[in-house]
Chain A
Amino acid sequence: MKNASNKYLISALLIAVAFHGTSIFFTLESTYDALIHLFFADHYTNSWFEPWNYKWYTGFTVMSYPPLVHQSIAALSFIGGLKFGLFSVALIGIVLFITGVYRFSLLISSSRTIAGYASILAVFSSSFIETLHLFGQLPSIIGISILMHALPEIYLWLKTGRWRYLATSLSLIAVTVTSHHVTPIFGMVFFIFPLIGMVIIDNARESTQSFKAVTLKLFIRSFVKLFTRIVGFGVLSLLVIIICILPYWINSKNNPINQVPIPHGSRDNFLEVTSSGLVFFLIPWGILLILIPYIVYRFYSKRYLFFGLSITILFILGTGGTTPIPKLILGETAFNILTLDRFTLWASIMSLPMFGEFTYRFVEGDLKALIQSKFGAVYHRIVGGVLASSLLFMTIFTMSLGYFKPSQPQKIKMLPIVNFLNQDQHDQWRYMTLGFGDQMAWLSSQTNAMSVDGNYHSARRLPELTTRPIERLENSKFKGIEGIGSLQQFLSVPEKYNLKYIFSNDKFYDPILYFCGWQRLRQLENGIMVWEKLNVPPLSSILPKEEVDTWQKLFWGIIPFLSILVAFLLNVQAFFIRSLKTKLKPLPEYLNFRNDYSYFQKGLLKISHTWSIFFLLIVGFGIYKFYIKNDAHHSPENAILAYYDALDFKEFKKAHSIINPESHMTIAQYMLEVSVTDGLLSSYAKLDAINTEIISQTSKLATVKVNTYWITPLEKIHKIYYRSLIKISGKWYLEPEDITTDLPPDQLYTSNKTNYFNQGRRRITTEQTYHEDVLKQPVLEIIEAKLVKFNNSYAIIGEIQNIDNVPADVVLKGTLYNDDDKQLATYNAKYHVKHKLLPKEVSPFRINFEGIAWSRIKDSIPKTFNPDEFTPIELEEQPTKFNLHAAANVSGSDLFKNTSLSIINIDNNNIIGSLFNSGTEEVTIPQLLVSYYNESKDLLWVDHMFIKDGIRQQRKQRFQYPIIKKNSIRIISNDMSNCYVNGLPNKPISHKIVSDRIIDHSDKELQHINHPNYKFIKLDINTFIGNPN
């Protein structure tokens, strides 16, 4: 054979670099993982040898991920910045992948042409495109590429026993493991074991005439012959895997990943969750699915038998939760930790040599001849065209997926946030981002400020995070109950984490922030809203960290990077000889086992045809089902589902298209009606589930009861709609709903309000705030506080008044003690208090003692979402005493109080009333605070309710509040001796201002109710203004 450059490989490399190399600039930054790797790289640029990172999760160690890729980015970043490093490493990854596929295919097929074909196909491999451009898994790509480079070396060592090959193979294994730890471990099983099998068969083949003559006996004999080399390689590579990232293994042993598994789409049942099926099965397999019979047939020929077994297992494991088999093979634990999409990736990569072989035979080999002789040349061309266009379609489809269905929010300009954090010592507190997606990692790498959250879930340490299956607090709205439940614990007790600033890129979280006592600071020029919480102490100057031995730090900083140098030195000579053809080298051993491509089995062609037709039928059926499901006018149910789905995604034009066209509602009118409704349900709700019940249906008319379940940041809402539908010329349409006709009395009206502004620092200085610029904390008075037992949970309830002359932001912190003064629990008032009080304003309050929800991993997490979920703390002993700390700070925000509340009617179960907004702001979410009293008008309980709809200016809004059922309520303590205001005892400080308080002043204004436990009730109102004027 002529030793010429392989033009296929060269074209593959050129196309790959041109195609992937340009497109990564548009895709990589919006992938899931790329920015996380960038963040790690940033860590190494700042402290190469210090593994502790303070920026995420109150501190974590980067020894929890193999460092090579991150360190490479870091090293390159010294030349041209972090992103230069990232893209350079990605380019290297692309080149390594293409050449890796070439070498692997050459090893398998022993044909340079086939390997060339395979390398070209690798460029368009949909699984590679997905991993790079959609997932951004650089370490994974580099790991598998280097492993493919290692395979020929391993083959040669086992076959020839030359020590040089042992050294090169081990050096490449070292690079693999320092890039990605999972790849060599499973690579051992799925790539190297079959390779060993192939070497043994090849060895046995040499002693006979053909592969057919290789018998089990011969196989065993060869195995025994090669045994020392195999075992030697096995032991040494195991040692390399362990030693090269030794600190990683030590860290894993010391800090085992002891957390609730995070659901991953690759573990879904792909038939049920079709989106997961698409992303984790259809896309990575792509066109290979058509060729499955060929690939299976070829891999089950004697020489490749072990690869056949391997790819079968990989295929099955890659199907995730579709069948119970992967769970049985891997076991419960491994199944829940591993993301199974990697098996599909490996299987598809393993298929590439066979794909190359098929293409070769189809384009210029025996298959072409067979088809042309059997079906004619035209048919061959058509089939070729179909296959080629399918391949291109899959490529374009995969590439564009991130464009049409972005997995990330729009790119956020980070500079304003970075500047904000650098100003005015804002980085002395921790921050959190909401709705940033994986871009939070990019923010973290640009600032020194620390976040409570993080984006590498294996490294989470706070029990509030590890006990629930959420990756980040950041995107908690997508994680239902666990997400928001976790988030609200951070928001209610932020001082525990020194969390003061929140950057919100998603309006969805506004209500929960407001009702947890946060206030809007300002909107940055990039549109990000900054929320702050008062009364949070800054971080200590010394933070705790987990120290590791110095040798580990040195090891971690040196060995992985050294491994790449060693591998380079060992392989570079061979590489240059191979590519520059400076020296005539003997052909590698594996090229001696050439396949015979002169005869294509007719049966195989037949099976392939049958399979293709069957496959097309499945695809067609799927498309048909998809169409029926998405045709909005097909049936009343479809119309309802499509309508509410469109509303959920705010696609009002689509929603309008489902409204009865004969109702003559113009899109303008419809949009107007939608835009005037604000409130928890219309502005902050995400449709969780919907089901329909047909109440009556004739051929032309239908009435449907629609049960909708909405997730809002505050609570889960179940709302029933009764909708009428009409069928017009074969299509179902919804009748529009009535709108409120209430006419406010005034066209233009005035409202006066006192505004407050706190200068902060009056001097422009970087020094600490001057003594005289520090405002006095407003004085509060805890009018009443008691510890009660309500059913089985404990709470501190009471009333608090701002007795100062300036408005106050109120933080209430309660602690429970037992008889021996042992502290049992501590928590802050969350929803049950008006966090902002005008001078002399009173608010009832209740402090719930929440445990860390589902803190024991075994606790069954409810399947359904309920953000209002409350986990009562488990107290080991009976609380008998409490203390209460009220802290106030001057705050001029959120002081809208112009909502009046009228009770219209009370029956045994409900209070019906109406709210009226007389102010100039639109109330987005009204909240009722309901205090319950006994016969002697002693406060017993405080409850609350969010009202689903907002109140526009000068409009009224009806509400129906369900009175709580009969229950057991007991006052445990009303000893107020341990109540403190701003750190001072409550009684003396309040006595100084209000010395002769009128006790039970407005008792006459309590509303009488009929209830076995409670005789009186009082309603207070708290309002959230979503869009302040």
Chain B
Amino acid sequence: MSLKPFYISLITIVLIFTCLNIKEDKSRYTLVTKTKVYNAGDIITLEFDFNGDSDVILYCSNTYGSLILKPEIGNTLKFVIPEILSIKSGILNWELLSDSELNSGQIKIHPKNEISEIETYIGPPSIEAGGNDYTMVVALPTDKLDNPLIDGTKVSVKHQFLEIEERDMISTKHGYGYKNLYSYQKSGRMLINTECLGLNSKEFDINIVPAIPTNFTISTDRVHNYADGNQITTFRTSTIKDRYNNIVSDGTFVSFFITNKDGYKTETSGATINGVATAKVLHPDRAEEWDVKAYIEGIANSDIITISYEKAITDFKVSFSKNNRTVTVGPLQSFMNQYIPNGLNVTLKLFKKGNFEDKITAQSVDGFATFKLKKDRFPKGYYTIEIEVAGIKKSFTKISYE
């Protein structure tokens, strides 16, 4: 036999009895307290007349959070809203939770009238000159319970920039007020403070930084115009400024591109100090004509300038030792016939029967470069030797080695 009908009837009976039970026990609660508006910090109580069950709770909720309160039971049910809720301005919602009915309502809590503090925030801390970029000042005047003052409170935002000192009035909405401060055309530092009801904030500052650079010119500086491969040529930009005539920020990166006679590139770079960037390169070691142009990538550039270097070495001698295994190149003399400074590269290429064998590079010391061609590397035979110094080539054929 199935037990299903039995269970169904049992549940039905239980349900019916439960319903009857509720109907029997009907309690009533009415709010006695009439005040609906308080000031923050006031003691707030809610009193209810009641008949029937006193086992009720009050659910309260505001911006701070939610709480459940138990009543003090006398002739009435008295709920005292705890301080943590009553000091917060705004709306306090309450609901009386009982078995029979649901009462609910709202209490409005106003902030105190006196200001205690003015919280101020500013960002971003640096903006670009020119009047397009701005920083935002946000002010929150608060009372001593940390409630924002009522909307419409006047706040003055003051700032100083160079000779300008200005004051703007704003009023708060949703608890705070804000002001966008636009940059000026000059770069520099702007100092800001806020004031509300006679109370001043501390000093804030933001930097107005130069806008992007504009085109500039470049110049060179060198000790002589000979291609000695040793001295340094310095490139220098004019003072780089933005379109409002502010000198660009220190550290602005400028790259200089040099194109030589053969179309090969050299790149050097410098960062500006007071708007001037300097970059250095070594003199070429052969006669050259350089086209130089400087860039601030995507933003500004200079015109092309051309500089030329004259030959420092016009000719050189090569001498071979008795067994030809020591090759001495030199004296290598520069434009006043002085020995070229140490470290000039001299290359020697060896060919055997027209095939390239080896390339050796030596550096000059006191005007001479020496090559020692070892027996084990270059065995017996006839070699062609080609020597190159500062772009000048000399060739010696049929050099024989034992």
| Residues 903 to 926 of chain A near chain B (Cβ within 8 Å) | 903-906, 916, 918
Q: Nearest Cβ distance between residue A599 and chain B, in whole angstroms?
A: 71
Are the CB atoms of B341 and A745 closer together than 8 Å? yes
Interface string of A696-725 (1 = CB under 8 A from B): 111001110000000000000000001010
Are the CB atoms of B281 and A839 closer together than 8 Å? no
Query: With a CB–CB cut-off of 8 A, which chain B residues contact A806?
Result: 126, 249, 251
Q: A741-B342, A803-B212, A840-B253 are in contact. Are A754 and B263 (CB under 8 A)?
A: no
Give Cα distance in the complex from A740 to B342, angstroms.
9
Are the CB atoms of A918 and B376 closer together than 8 Å? no
Interface string of B291-319 (1 = CB under 8 A from A): 00101111101000000000000000000
Tell me, yes or no, whether B334 is within 8 Å of chain A by CB.
no
Are the CB atoms of A1001 and B301 closer together than 8 Å? yes
Q: Nearest Cβ distance between residue A341 and chain B, in whole angstroms?
A: 49
Q: Which of B273, B299, B377 contacts A703 (CB 8 A)?
A: B377
Q: A805-B126, A897-B253, A1005-B257 are in contact. Are A754 and B273 (CB under 8 A)?
A: yes
Query: With a CB–CB cut-off of 8 A, which chain A residues contact B342?
Result: 741-743
Are the CB atoms of B232 and A918 closer together than 8 Å? yes
Query: With a CB–CB cut-off of 8 A, which chain A residues contact B341?
Result: 743, 745
- Return the chain B residue nearest A752 by Cβ: B273
Q: Nearest Cβ distance between residue B165 and chain A, in whole angstroms?
A: 21
- Return the chain A residue nearest B266 by Cβ: A902
- Return the chain B residue nearest A771 by Cβ: B121
Give Cα distance in the complex from A995 to B126, angstroms.
18
Please give the number of chain A residues whose Cβ is less than 8 angstroms from any Cβ of chain B in the complex. 68
Tell me, yes or no, whether A753 is within 8 Å of chain B by CB.
yes
Tell me, yes or no, whether B185 is within 8 Å of chain A by CB.
no
Tell me, yes or no, whether B69 is within 8 Å of chain A by CB.
no
Query: With a CB–CB cut-off of 8 A, which chain B residues contact A906?
Result: 264
Interface string of A773-813 (1 = CB under 8 A from B): 01110000001000000000000000001110111000000
- Return the chain A residue nearest B269 by Cβ: A897
Give the A-B contact count at a CB cut-off of 8 A: 175
Give Cα distance in the complex from A1004 to B258, angstroms.
11
Give Cα distance in the complex from A918 to B232, angstroms.
9
Query: With a CB–CB cut-off of 8 A, which chain B residues contact A840?
Result: 212-213, 252-254, 296-297, 299
Are the CB atoms of A994 and B281 closer together than 8 Å? no
Are the CB atoms of B125 and A775 closer together than 8 Å? yes
Give Cα distance in the complex from A696 to B341, angstroms.
36
Q: Which of B128, B230, B270 contacts A745 (CB 8 A)?
A: B230
Give Cα distance in the complex from A1005 to B255, angstroms.
11
Q: A994-B212, A1019-B267 are in contact. Are A841 and B253 (CB under 8 A)?
A: yes
| Residues 143 to 164 of chain B near chain A (Cβ within 8 Å) | none
Please give the number of chain B residues whose Cβ is less than 8 angstroms from any Cβ of chain A in the complex. 61
- Return the chain B residue nearest A1005 by Cβ: B257
Q: A703-B374, A840-B297 are in contact. Are A903 and B266 (CB under 8 A)?
A: yes
Tell me, yes or no, whether B170 is within 8 Å of chain A by CB.
no
Give Cα distance in the complex from A1001 to B215, angstroms.
13
Are the CB atoms of B232 and A772 closer together than 8 Å? no
| Residues 116 to 157 of chain B near chain A (Cβ within 8 Å) | 121-126, 128, 132-133
Tell me, yes or no, whether B177 is within 8 Å of chain A by CB.
no
Query: With a CB–CB cut-off of 8 A, which chain B residues contact A842?
Result: 297-298
Are the CB atoms of A839 and B128 closer together than 8 Å? no
Tell me, yes or no, whether B343 is within 8 Å of chain A by CB.
yes
Query: With a CB–CB cut-off of 8 A, which chain A residues contact B252?
Result: 805, 838-840
Interface string of B343-386 (1 = CB under 8 A from A): 10000000000000000001111000000001111000000000
Are the CB atoms of A903 and B298 closer together than 8 Å? no
Are the CB atoms of A838 and B271 closer together than 8 Å? yes
Query: With a CB–CB cut-off of 8 A, which chain B residues contact A818?
Result: none
- Return the chain B residue nearest A802 by Cβ: B253
Tell me, yes or no, whether A999 is within 8 Å of chain B by CB.
yes
Tell me, yes or no, whether A405 is within 8 Å of chain B by CB.
no
Are the CB atoms of A900 and B280 closer together than 8 Å? yes
Tell me, yes or no, whether A993 is within 8 Å of chain B by CB.
yes
Interface string of B219-258 (1 = CB under 8 A from A): 0000000000011100000000000000011111111011
Query: With a CB–CB cut-off of 8 A, which chain A residues contact B273?
Result: 752-754
Query: With a CB–CB cut-off of 8 A, which chain A residues contact B268?
Result: 900-901, 918
Interface string of A830-866 (1 = CB under 8 A from B): 0000000111111000000000000000000000000
Are the CB atoms of B264 and A904 closer together than 8 Å? yes
Give Cα distance in the complex from A701 to B248, angstroms.
65
Are the CB atoms of B253 and A838 closer together than 8 Å? yes
Give Cα distance in the complex from A743 to B123, angstroms.
53
Tell me, yes or no, whether A761 is within 8 Å of chain B by CB.
no
Query: With a CB–CB cut-off of 8 A, which chain B residues contact A741?
Result: 342-343, 363-365
Interface string of A425-463 (1 = CB under 8 A from B): 000000000000000000000000000000000000000
| Residues 539 to 563 of chain A near chain B (Cβ within 8 Å) | none
Q: A745-B230, A900-B266 are in contact. Are A997 and B298 (CB under 8 A)?
A: yes
Q: Nearest Cβ distance between residue B97 and chain A, in whole angstroms?
A: 34
Tell me, yes or no, whether A998 is within 8 Å of chain B by CB.
yes
Tell me, yes or no, whether A1008 is within 8 Å of chain B by CB.
yes
- Return the chain B residue nearest A739 by Cβ: B363
Q: Which of B124, B269, B343 contacts A743 (CB 8 A)?
A: B343
Q: Most A CB atoms within 10 A — which of B248, B253, B254? A: B253
Give Cα distance in the complex from A916 to B232, angstroms.
10
Are the CB atoms of B212 and A903 closer together than 8 Å? no
Q: Which of A743, A841, A1020 contacts B230 (CB 8 A)?
A: A743
Query: With a CB–CB cut-off of 8 A, which chain B residues contact A698?
Result: 376
- Return the chain B residue nearest A696 by Cβ: B376
Q: Which of B253, B257, B298 contacts A839 (CB 8 A)?
A: B253
Query: With a CB–CB cut-off of 8 A, which chain B residues contact A994?
Result: 212, 298-299
Tell me, yes or no, whether A634 is within 8 Å of chain B by CB.
no
Give Cα distance in the complex from A898 to B128, angstroms.
28
Q: Nearest Cβ distance between residue B35 and chain A, in whole angstroms?
A: 39
Query: With a CB–CB cut-off of 8 A, which chain A residues contact B282?
Result: 900, 916, 956
Give Cα distance in the complex from A994 to B298, angstroms.
8
Query: With a CB–CB cut-off of 8 A, which chain A residues contact B128?
Result: 993
Query: With a CB–CB cut-off of 8 A, which chain B residues contact A802?
Result: 253
Q: Nearest Cβ distance between residue B258 and chain A, in whole angstroms?
A: 8
Interface string of A744-786 (1 = CB under 8 A from B): 0110000011101000000000000001101110000001000
Q: Which of B125, B232, B281, B298 contacts A998 (CB 8 A)?
A: B298
Q: A741-B364, A753-B271, A1002-B257 are in contact. Are A905 and B264 (CB under 8 A)?
A: yes
Q: Nearest Cβ distance between residue A1011 and chain B, in whole angstroms?
A: 16
Are the CB atoms of B210 and A805 closer together than 8 Å? yes
Are the CB atoms of B271 and A903 closer together than 8 Å? no
Tell me, yes or no, whether B287 is within 8 Å of chain A by CB.
no
Give Cα distance in the complex from A752 to B250, angstroms.
11
A-B contact pairs, 13 of them (CB 8 A): A695-B377, A743-B343, A754-B273, A772-B122, A805-B209, A838-B253, A840-B252, A840-B299, A841-B297, A842-B298, A904-B264, A954-B232, A1007-B265
Q: A753-B271, A840-B253 are in contact. List 16 more A-B contacts (CB 8 A).
A: A741-B343, A745-B230, A752-B278, A754-B250, A775-B125, A806-B251, A837-B253, A838-B252, A840-B212, A840-B297, A900-B269, A918-B281, A1002-B295, A1002-B297, A1005-B265, A1007-B264
Q: Which 8 A-B pairs have the closest CB atoms?
A: A742-B343, A696-B376, A900-B268, A918-B280, A805-B249, A841-B253, A902-B266, A1005-B257
